[in-house]
Amino acid sequence: MYERALALDPRSAEAQSLLADALADRVQARMADSAAVDIARAEGLVAQALAASPRSPLAHLAKGQVLRAQNRWEEAILEYETVLAFDHNSARALHALGECKLMTGSIEEVIPFEEQAIRLSPRDPQIWNRYQRIGFVHLLQSRSDAAIPWLEKARSANPEVPSVHAFLASAYGLKGEAERAAAELAEARRLGGKGSYSSMRAATITSRVVPKNRALFEATYFAGLRKAGVPEE
């Protein structure tokens, strides 16, 4: 639909931004036939949109999404902060900032961004992701009791997401609730497909752990997965 909009109005900064955003989302969801092609197209669209409308929150959001899809977290933060300077009520920018702060090791900043995003958009279709991230950050900070209610809310909002069940498996494992942990791990594996959470090596590879967070992941999330029943190999 964005391609059709752009065909009707090739100069539309809005259509360019929205299409770039969708392409970046496709890359992040690992649904692109060619991530490199989608990123290159998105970068060109964002450049056009910003040249025509340099103060557009939508264009800066799209640029942030493209940078985030490339794991360029620090650069993406600047774009999302620009979005919020123009539009204080952008729940998407706040949520994206939460991920970027997590990925750059500023874990203590994540929850306030996610809580604000929830306040601004309490019926958002992606609300599960905000609940999940808050729960996950509590888990990483060794607060399983705080993590579990948020992760259970995420599971209720969207029970089809493998990571929600994996985080819950870890949290239950750390609390010594072996039966619950095993049930959540089984569901994470079922939803994730062949090989998902089959070993700690597989779990580590898919967790996008940055060096600053390695010790936190090892002491909490990975330790909980081991207790839930994930073997090393």
Tell me, what's the pLDDT at 203?
86
Q: What is the pLDDT of residues 100-126, one digit of tens each?
A: 999 999 999 999 999 999 999 999 999
Of the residues 64, 86, 108, the one at which a domain ends: 86
The answer to whether the beta carbons of residues 17 and 56 sit under 8 Å apart is yes
d(CA 192, CA 104): 26
Question: What is the band of 71 on the pLDDT scale with cuts at 50, 70, 90?
Answer: very high
Residue 94 lies in a domain: no
Query: Which residues constitute the domain of residue 183?
Result: 127-233
pLDDT value at 150 more than 80: yes
Of the residues 61, 86, 111, the one at which a domain ends: 86
Residue 192 lies in a domain: yes
132 and 221 inside one domain: yes
Question: What is the band of 216 on the pLDDT scale with cuts at 50, 70, 90?
Answer: very high
Q: Structurally, how many domains does the chain consist of? A: 2
Mean pLDDT of 12-32: 96
pLDDT value at 205 more than 80: no
pLDDT value at 73 more than 90: yes
Tell me, what's the pLDDT at 211?
84
58 and 140 inside one domain: no
57 and 154 inside one domain: no
Residue 152 lies in a domain: yes
157 and 230 inside one domain: yes
Long-range contacts: 105-113, Cβ < 8 Å, 24+?
Answer: 105/210, 105/212, 105/213, 107/137, 107/140, 107/141, 107/213, 107/216, 110/134, 110/137, 111/137, 111/138
CATH code: domain of residue 211: 1.25.40.10
Residue 181 lies in a domain: yes
Contacts of 31 (CB under 8 A, 6+ apart): none
Question: What is the band of 212 on the pLDDT scale with cuts at 50, 70, 90?
Answer: confident
